Amino acid sequence: MTIKHKVFAVGLALALAGGGAAVTQAQTKKYTITTVVKIAGVAWFNRMEQGVALFAKDTGQNATQVGPASADAALQNQIVEDLIAKKVDAITVVPNSPESMEPVLKKALDSKIVVVGHEGSNLENVTYDVEAFDNAAFGAHLMDNLAKAMGEEGEYAVFVGHLTAKTHNQWVDAAIARQKDKYPKMKLVADKQESLEDQQVAYTKTKELLQAHPNLKGIQGSASTDVAGAALAVEDAGLGSQVNVVGTSLPSIAGPYITSGTIKAISFWDPAKAAYVVDKVAVMALEGKKVEDGMNFGQEGYEKVTLKGHVITGQAWVDCTKDNLSTFNF
């Protein structure tokens, strides 16, 4: 087969070019590790893919990322089913609905595949789960940012990607609890708004909110596109000086609105660093090594992780405002 020869030749050339690195890699077993994300092709998971690619480059492992074209738990289940049949060594997963994935992840574990979750602290059928931070603490932190932007008073509304998305609801619930506890002059004016992880939906719903609540002073977003959709609606309505937007997002998505001042602050964790740590954990598990409390994973925010049960938690949240926007390239 000529193709095989070509592949072999290219591989040989790469190995030679790799020099010293290739020699050390040859000694460790090469594992196939596939990361299954909620949805492919959005900025957040594109950034995550960079982390996966970096990990593959640094370690020589066959680490790749896949995801469905729409954020549907059913499609994620299908992908994992196929990966089990394909006999990969490890599956790392960012689930749309952690509960819906338990049986298929159990099937993976039963087939001797290492499973590492991310954003799924309640997952049971995983070898480990990696969380960037404690979700309740993060939600409270978002509320602190919103309160600061609003001068600790006035009406606000909150967005979640899906009413069924667990982490988004944890953030928002913790934020509302924080507001009731610390900022009595602020008032939640509507039920949780559902953006369906879609910037256009966030835009439309914000327009409706501004109609229904002309005194609205603050909006907190959860999905990475929520703040951008909300900020555009606020600016279209000419209310940029009245309404403050904060939330979870990425600088590349929220950047223009941070510059214009409608978005006061966004918070996030770097999905690339999270993916890097997740893959590192997967390889440790494959090599039979144990993760320990206080371990250093060599990535910012994961220098001293806490381990509870099988959940590994870092302190990896980052705030981005007008002042440090230019320091981020994703």
Partner 1 sequence: MQREDSTRSYLVALFGLMVLVFAGIGLGNPSFVSGASLSSMAFQFPEFGLLALAILPTMLSGGIDLSVVSIANLTSIVAALLLKSGHEGLALPLALGAGAACGVLNGVLIGYLRLPAILATLGTMQVIGGLGIVVTGGPAVTGLPDWYAATVNAAPGGIPVPLTVFAVVLVALGVLLRFSSTGVQARLYGANPIAARFAGIPERRLIMTIYVASGIISALAGLVILGHANSAYADYGTSYVLLVVLINILAGVNPAGGSGTVSGVLLAVLLLQFISSGLNFLSFSAFLRDLFFGLLLVIVMSLRVLGGQFRLAAWLARRSA
Which positions touch partner 1 (CB under 8 A)?
40-41, 64, 66-70, 72-75, 77-79, 81-87, 97, 99-104, 107, 162-166, 169
Indicate the residue among 223 and 234 with the shorter CB distance to partner 1.
223
How far is residue 180's CA from residue 317's CA, in Å, rounded to a whole number? 23
CA distance 315 to 320: 16
CB nearer to partner 1: give 126 or 186: 126
Evaluate the CA torsion angle 312, 104, 168, 318 in order and state its sign: positive
Query: Between 81 and 208, whose beta carbon lies closer to partner 1?
Result: 81
Beta bridge partners of 268: 318
Comparison of 34 and 299: residue with beta carbon closer to partner 1: 34
Show the DSSP H helices in 152-310 as ranges: 166-182, 199-212, 226-236, 251-260, 271-286
CB-nearer residue toward partner 1: 6 or 322: 6
Min separation Cβ 91 and partner 1, Å:
12
User: Closest separation between CB of residue 128 and partner 1, Å?
Assistant: 21
**Residue type for position 164:** T
Q: How many CB atoms are closer than 10 A to CB 296?
A: 9
Query: Per-residue DSSP letters for 102-147?
Result: HHHHHHHHHTT-EEEEES-TT-SS-SEEEESS-HHHHHHHHHHHHH
Q: Which among 170, 262, 260 is positioned nearest to 218, based on CA atoms?
A: 262
Residues 89/283, Cβ–Cβ less than 8 Å:
no
Q: CB nearer to partner 1: give 17 or 69.
A: 69
Sign of CA dihedral 256, 47, 305, 111: positive
Looking up tokens 């940012």, which residue turns up?
Answer: 145
Minimal distance, residue 35 CB to partner 1, in Å: 12
Q: Exposed, middle or buried, 147 (CB in 10 Å: 0-12/13-18/19+)?
A: buried
Identify which of residues 162 and 217 has a Cβ nearer to partner 1 in the complex: 162
Q: How far is the CB of 111 from partner 1 (least distance, A)?
A: 8
CB of 95 to partner 1, least distance (A): 11
Q: At its nearest, how many Å lie between partner 1 and the CB of residue 275? A: 17
Distance in Å, CB of 230 to partner 1, minimum: 20
Give the residue with the Cβ less far from partner 1, 103 or 184. 103
How far is Cα of residue 100 from the mean position of the Cα atoms in its chain? Answer: 19
Q: Which tokens is 182 given? A: 């610390």
- Least distance CB 202 / partner 1 (angstroms): 17
